[in-house]
């Protein structure tokens, strides 16, 4: 027996050590550590589940059952697999896939904000400023109308992914640089092999995987969906639905025949990536950004933009193609009393599309206060809380060390905090400027924003309610985010 004792002890030691290593390579949630990412001076751990998350089979409520009949024969997005979308998730959040290793797709498309970023214009790699407000990601590839971007210049999701990686306003990469960055990471060979059968990295595979991840974002568990399933309509929500049908549905519509209208309207946000772009009378003169008109060169297309999905609309402020309207309440006010009679505005060019007798020129619907509240309630019911909390759509990278962000945060001071009436926001170096300030409440609504362009700014509380707010301060160094408490 003794001659077997030493080998058995050695084997037991190996098993115990292996078990310890395995335990060390786990996070508090039980996810395995799939690799590490270094971006400039920061280090991140990639955490992925042992069992692949389910992206490919999403349970669709019965009130969407007629959807398949109207799906386009040439889908906008590729077929989704769990392994492909998992790879896409990692690529989507990988900050090394931007020229200066500071941003990812997820920097502009943030899950908590319905995959937007709560600012009028996003900041790309190397401080580049985006041209337009970030569009939400919801039901892309699950839509009847294959049009992407505010000017609808793309109809293929995979091609759009590569466009964004190469955009001078966003990731600022060449395709060769993109391939090199993916090749240098130790966590991609296993992910590519799982998704595609081998570890070869190509731009086509990168685009396909990211497109799978985006296309898997189906928003079908909103509060409105619950109300429909349980037949739990309040009087106010029913009134809001009727307001929507009579005032909004002419643009926020789909190709489903009129016979299915009652099925369609309650679940309308599912199909709200509308058929064709429109001019909504946001401006009398759209200036340099004429939307579709820039591409077509036709004056009849000036000021015409895509109407985005209304899913999670309460989370995606600010609104419009330029982020010029701060809150959902302000959007309703705009459609009530602030519409400009632009010659291409839908309400003027095609008033026959509306079930109402619209005055000409059209300047607004002139909502009553109860109309506004009921319509707001209906729009707020389009929020899918489970979607924005689903871990399979979250950032899989966890920050371990950061010196750059600490420098950005320490360069600007906010005091006092908590505040009673006002707070001073100051750059410690007077030569540096505060580019923009945004305050966001607990519901995700932008309640204050300014573009100071100075080194010191005084924030006045005004009539804001007590609570904890998110304060975003964009400086010359970067974006500093912190909590601001109002007593």
Residue 39 has pLDDT above 60, yes or no: yes
**Across residues 70-86, what is the average pLDDT?**
83
Which domains are present in the chain? 32-63+72-219+390-398 (1.10.760.10), 223-383 (1.10.760.10), 403-486 (2.60.40.3080)
Higher per-residue pLDDT: 10 or 124: 124
Give residue-wise pLDDT tens across range 207-245. Answer: 999 999 999 998 889 998 898 888 899 999 999 988 988
Q: What is the 3-state secondary structure (H, E, C) of the chain?
A: CHHHHHHHHHHHHHHHHHHHHHHHCECCCCCEEEEEEEECCEEEEEEECCCCCCCCCCCCCHHHCCHHHHCCCCCCCCCCCHHHHHHHHHHHHCHHHCCCCCCCHHHHCEHHHCCECCCCCCECHHHCECCCCCCCCCCCCCCCCCCECCCCCECCHHHHHHHHHHCCCCCCCCHHHHHHHHHHCCCHHHHHHHHHCCCCCCHHHHHHHHHHHHHCCCCCCCHHHHHHHHCCCCHHHHHHHHHHHHHCCCCCCCCCCHHHHHHHCCCHHHHCCCCCCEECCCCCCCCCCCEHHHHHCCHHHCCEECCCCCCCHHHCCCECCCCCECCHHHHHHHHHHCCCCCCCEHHHHCHHHCCCCCCCCCCCCCCCHHHHHHHHHHHHCCCCHHHHHCHHHCCCEEEEECCHHHHHHHCEEEECCCECCEEEEEECCCCCCEEEEEEECCCCCEEEEECCCECEEEEECCCCCCEEEEEEEEECCCEEEEEEEEC
pLDDT in tens, 230-240: 889 999 999 99
**What's the pTM?**
0.76
Instruction: List pLDDT tens digits, range 162-174.
Output: 999 999 999 999 9
């Amino acid at each position: 027996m003794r001659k077997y004792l030493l080998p058995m002890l050695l084997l037991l030691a190996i098993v115990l050590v292996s078990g310890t290593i395995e335990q060390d390579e786990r996070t508090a949630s039980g996810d395995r550590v799939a690799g590490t990412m270094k971006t400039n001076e920061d280090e991140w751990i990639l955490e992925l589940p042992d069992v692949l998350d389910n992206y490919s089979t999403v349970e669709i409520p019965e009130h969407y059952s007629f959807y398949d009949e109207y799906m386009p024969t040439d889908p906008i997005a590729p077929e989704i697999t769990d392994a492909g979308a998992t790879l896409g998730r990692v690529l989507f959040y990988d900050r090394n896939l931007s020229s200066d290793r500071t941003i990812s797709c997820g920097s502009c498309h943030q899950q908590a904000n319905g995959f937007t970023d709560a600012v009028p214009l996003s900041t790309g790699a190397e401080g580049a400023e985006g041209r337009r407000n970030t569009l939400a990601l919801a039901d892309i590839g699950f839509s009847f109308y294959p049009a992407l971007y505010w000017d609808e210049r793309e109809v293929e999701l995979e091609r759009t992914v590569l466009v964004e990686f190469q955009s001078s306003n966003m990731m600022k990469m060449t395709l060769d640089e993109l391939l090199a960055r993916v090749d240098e990471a130790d966590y991609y060979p296993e992910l590519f092999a799982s998704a595609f059968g081998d570890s070869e990295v190509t731009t086509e595979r990168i685009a396909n995987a990211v497109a799978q991840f985006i296309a898997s974002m189906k928003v079908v568990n909103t509060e409105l969906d619950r109300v429909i399933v349980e037949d739990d309509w309040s009087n106010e929500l029913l009134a809001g639905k009727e307001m929507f049908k009579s005032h909004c549905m002419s643009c926020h519509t789909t190709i489903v025949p009129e016979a299915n209208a009652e099925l369609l309207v309650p679940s309308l946000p599912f199909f709200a990536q509308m058929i064709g772009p429109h001019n909504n009378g946001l401006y009398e003169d759209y200036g340099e950004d004429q939307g579709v008109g820039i591409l077509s060169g036709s004056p009849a297309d000036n000021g015409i933009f895509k109407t985005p999905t209304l899913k999670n609309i309460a989370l995606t402020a600010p609104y419009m193609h330029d982020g010029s309207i701060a809150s959902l309440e302000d959007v309703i006010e705009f459609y009530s009393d602030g519409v400009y009679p632009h010659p291409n505005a839908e309400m003027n060019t095609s008033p026959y599309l509306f079930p109402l007798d619209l005055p000409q020129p059209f300047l607004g619907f002139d909502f009553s206060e109860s109309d506004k509240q009921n319509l707001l309630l209906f729009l707020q019911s389009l929020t899918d809380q489970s979607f924005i909390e689903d871990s399979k759509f979250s950032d899989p990278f966890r920050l371990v060390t950061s010196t750059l962000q600490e420098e950005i945060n320490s360069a600007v001071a906010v005091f006092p905090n908590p505040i009673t009436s006002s707070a001073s926001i100051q750059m410690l170096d007077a030569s540096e400027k505060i580019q923009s300030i945004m305050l966001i409440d607990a519901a995700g609504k932008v309640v204050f924003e300014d573009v100071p362009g100075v080194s010191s700014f005084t924030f006045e509380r005004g009539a804001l309610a007590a609570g904890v707010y998110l304060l975003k301060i964009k400086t010359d160094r970067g974006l500093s985010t912190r909590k601001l408490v109002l007593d």
